[in-house]
């Protein structure tokens, strides 16, 4: 198990590696979000399950991911590390947004979401604290 973490740490040794690592996490989270949303619609009788709604949601996720990918070459136009900081900020914010959606889907499946709301609060505080302290990102 430790080897897995060592391998993952190697991905994020460079700023560029970190950005692409986060982009990979976002892609996986989007897939899980779509699947969990579909399950929530099937399980929860209050949600009408429609394939058109599911396909529209899937298309939004694909286009959103393409937009995030398009930002990579655009970020090179920004001076020095500003491009990496820009991508990092956008990607982490997007990742938190997807995590919130995952929590909502879990709640729609009658799961207890209280612990996850605290996690979101911690993430948001860390981002705000990082901005106040002049952190790297």
User: CA 40, 46, 49, 54: dihedral to nearest 10 degrees?
Assistant: -60
3-state DSSP assignment of residue 96: helix
Q: What is the pLDDT of residues 61-71, one digit of tens each?
A: 999 999 999 99
3-state DSSP assignment of residue 81: coil
Residue 135 above 90 pLDDT?
A: no
Alpha-carbon distance of 4 to 39, in angstroms, equals 30
128 within domain boundaries:
yes
Domain around 111: 16-132
The tokens of 102 are what?
């995952």
Residue 129 above 80 pLDDT?
A: no
3 within domain boundaries:
no
What pTM was estimated for this model as a whole? Answer: 0.81
2 within domain boundaries:
no
Q: Could you give the number of structural domains in the chain?
A: 1
Give me the helix-helix angle, 82-108 and 51-75, nearest 10°.
160
């Amino acid at each position: 198990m430790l080897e897995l973490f060592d391998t993952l740490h190697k991905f994020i040794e460079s700023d560029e590696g970190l950005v692409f690592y986060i982009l990979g996490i976002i892609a996986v989270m989007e897939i899980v979000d779509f699947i969990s949303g579909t399950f929530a619609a099937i399980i929860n009788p209050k949600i009408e399950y429609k394939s058109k709604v599911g396909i529209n949601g899937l298309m939004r996720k694909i286009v959103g991911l393409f937009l995030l990918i398009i930002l990579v070459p655009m970020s090179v136009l920004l001076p020095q590390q500003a491009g990496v900081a820009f991508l990092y900020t956008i990607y982490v914010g997007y990742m938190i947004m997807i995590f919130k959606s995952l929590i909502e889907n879990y709640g729609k499946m009658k799961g207890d979401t209280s612990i996850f709301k605290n996690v979101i609060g911690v993430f948001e505080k860390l981002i705000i604290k990082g901005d106040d302290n002049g952190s790297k990102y």
